[in-house]
Structure 1
Amino acid sequence: MSKKVLALSLLSETEGKPNVTASEPVETSKPAETTAETTGGADAPESQADEKKAGELPAVEGIAINQEKSKIEWVGAKVTGDHKGTFENFNGAIKVDDAGKVTAIAFNADTTSVTSDNEKLTGHLKSPDFFDVAKYPVASFSSTEIKEGSDVKPGEGQAAFTHTVTGNMDLHGQKKSITFPARISTEGDVVSASTEFNLNRFDFGIEYKGKPDDLIKKEVLLKINFEAPKKAAE
């Protein structure tokens, strides 16, 4: 490997970010929660076995996030550098109790809406090598526990993590429990929740390795920023 290529590989944005470990999903005592008040009342599927049409997302219970001020981004790295992208179509909700404490966070992402900084790559990401969007059009996350505090140190110049979130991630037909640090704030009239962590795509059966001389890392950096009003609109 040349010094130039090695230097590029060391500049990956995924470096130094928290890595999460996937384990068996946490079984909840009741089906996935939905509500007619947030996104129309459609029943949320328990897994990707429940087929969804492209662009159709299950409902989530809680205060709907502000779509214009929220985003889901990703960064994938290979030997020669990073690629960045987003999920353009997603929904989410945050639940807050009477004391103003965040008790749950959930979201769904339309995998057919994945974008990247390269048109050819975007098409490849939608193929069976990666998200296989025709078969698995929805990726989802639903928290099972939110605790105050975090043992994970933030990156240089970044704010400290305030909470630890555990929940079930349903991606590519695989449902696993993951735990990650987050920054959650209930100051003012809004609730904000953000995180960035490396997810091992191999844990979810996405195992395309790339070219022999330009291998793709297993870890994909997810960057999530949500904002919601403290109270749902009446």
Structure 2
Amino acid sequence: MKKNIVFFFLLLSLSFHASFGQTWSLDKSHAKLEFSVTHLMVSNVEGNFKSFDAKITSAQDDFSNAVIELTADINSINTDDDQRDGHLKSPDFFDVAKFSTLTFKSTSFKKVGDKKYKVEGNLTMHGITKKVELDVTFNGTAIHPYTKKTIAGFKVSGKLKRSDFAIGATVPGAVVSDEVEISTNAEFVKG
């Protein structure tokens, strides 16, 4: 009887591992979470979040059906202008005193071409959760020459509307575009 119980738990453990696969952690020194908006309808203003973390869990080597989770500290927003950054943190935009983080968790990660994927998931910003779809390019894997760990590279891009998240609701689109372009480049380390 004891052998059967041990065997059962061993099988359960193996099936759990097979179902959820490997975890890939963000290499923060080789990652950027950037955005861009149009200012006064004539130029682009770019920014990023300095503090964010992400992980990928995948049972497949090609990352099909992977699960991606991301969290960013809104207080780390950076547009290379302290006054503008302060305004973005204010209740006029992100209101970091009430909503200090943004989160994303994928609900679908599907291959649509050679190294091309569509990721869908729930993005929460400013207390509002909306489904978003982003384009992903899988840049491949490599063995890091020093750590000997497997790394994977991804580029993620897409667009969303700040009005969907009630960010800058009183700021007209002619001043700051409603459409926000998202661009992320990141390396992940296996294990």
| TM-score > 0.5, shorter chain as reference | yes
Deviation at 1:82, TM superposition (A): 1.9
Aligned with 1:106: secondary structure? strand
- Choose between structure 1 and 2: higher helix proportion: 2
Kindly state the Cα deviation for residue 210 of structure 1 after the two structures are TM-superposed. Answer: 4.7
- Structure having the higher Rg: 2
Aligned residue pairs: how many? 159
Counterpart-to-counterpart distance in 1, 2:157 and 2:91:
26
Deviation per residue, 1:120-179 (Å, 9 max, x gap): 1111000011111110000010101100016xxxxxxxxx87001010001110001111
Aligned residues of 2:108 and 2:120 also touching (Cα < 8 A):
yes
Root mean square deviation, CA, Å:
2.0
* Runs of 5+ unmatched residues, structure 2: 1-21, 143-149
Contact 2:134 2:159 in 1 (8 A): no
Which residue is 1:145 aligned to?
108
**2:18 matched residue in structure 1:** none
State TM-score, norm by structure 1: 0.63
More strand, by proportion: 2
SS in 2 for 1:134: coil
- Residue aligned with 1:70, SS: strand
Question: Percent of aligned positions with the same letter in both sequences?
Answer: 28
Does 2:130 align with 1:176? yes
Aligned residue number for residue 209 of structure 1:
171
Unaligned runs of 5+ in 1: 1-60, 151-159
Distance 1:115 1:210 in 2: 21
The offset of 1:226, in angstroms, is 1.6
Q: Does residue 1:220 correspond to 2:180, yes or no?
A: yes
Q: Which position in structure 1 is the counterpart of 2:56?
A: 94
Do the aligned partners of residues 161 and 173 (structure 1) sit closer, same or farther apart at CA in structure 2, a change above 3 Å counting? farther
Instruction: Tell me, yes or no, if the aligned pair for 1:161 and 1:181 is still in contact at 8 Å.
Output: no
Deviations, residues 63-118 of structure 1 (Å, cap 9, x unaligned): 21100001101112122422111101111001122x41321111100001101132
Q: Which TM-score applies when normalising by structure 2? A: 0.77
